[in-house]
Amino acid sequence: MIYTVTFNPALDYVVNVNHFTLGQVNRTVGEHIFYGGKGINVSALLANLGYESVALGFVAGFTGDEIERGVKRLGFCSDFIHVKRGMSRINVKLKSDQESEINGMGPEITDGDVGELFGKLEGLKEGDVLVLSGSIPASIEPDIYERIMARLDGRGVRIAVDAEKDLLLNVLCYHPFLIKPNNHELGQMFGVELEGEEEIAAYARRLQERGARNVLVSMAGDGALLVTKDGQVLRQGVAKGVVKNSVGAGDSMVAGFLAGYLETGDYGYALKLGTACGGATAFSDGIGTKDEIMRLLATL
Ligand X SMILES: O=P(O)(O)OC[C@@]1(O)O[C@H](CO)[C@@H](O)[C@@H]1O
Ligand Y SMILES: Nc1ncnc2c1ncn2[C@@H]1O[C@H](COP(=O)(O)OP(=O)(O)OP(=O)(O)O)[C@@H](O)[C@H]1O
Task: Give how many residues touch ligand Y by CB under 6 A.
Answer: 21
Q: How far apart are CA 258 and CA 188, in angstroms?
A: 25
| Residue 14 interacts with, from ligand Y, ligand X, none (CB under 5-8 Å by kind) | none
Which residues sit at the interface with ligand X, rule CB under 6 A?
8, 10, 12, 36-38, 41, 91, 103, 134-135, 247-248, 250-251
Q: Does 288 bind ligand Y (CB under 6 A)?
A: no
Q: Does 219 bind ligand Y (CB under 6 A)?
A: yes
Q: Does 287 bind ligand Y (CB under 6 A)?
A: no
Q: Does 251 bind ligand Y (CB under 6 A)?
A: yes
Residue nearest to ligand X (CB): 36
Q: Is 251 a catalytic residue?
A: yes
Of 214 and 252, which has the nearer Cβ to ligand X? 252
Q: Considering 251, 266, 285, 291, which one is annotated as catalytic?
A: 251
Of 74 and 152, which has the nearer Cβ to ligand Y? 74
**Which residue among 33, 92, 243, 300 contacts ligand Y (CB under 6 A)?**
243
Q: Does 282 bind ligand Y (CB under 6 A)?
A: yes
Q: How would you label 52-82 residue by residue, b for 16+ Cβ within 10 Å and e otherwise?
A: ebbbbbbbbbebbebbbebbeebebebebbe
Q: Does 275 bind ligand Y (CB under 6 A)?
A: yes
| Residue 36 interacts with, from ligand X, ligand Y, none (CB under 5-8 Å by kind) | ligand X
Q: Catalytic site residues?
A: 251
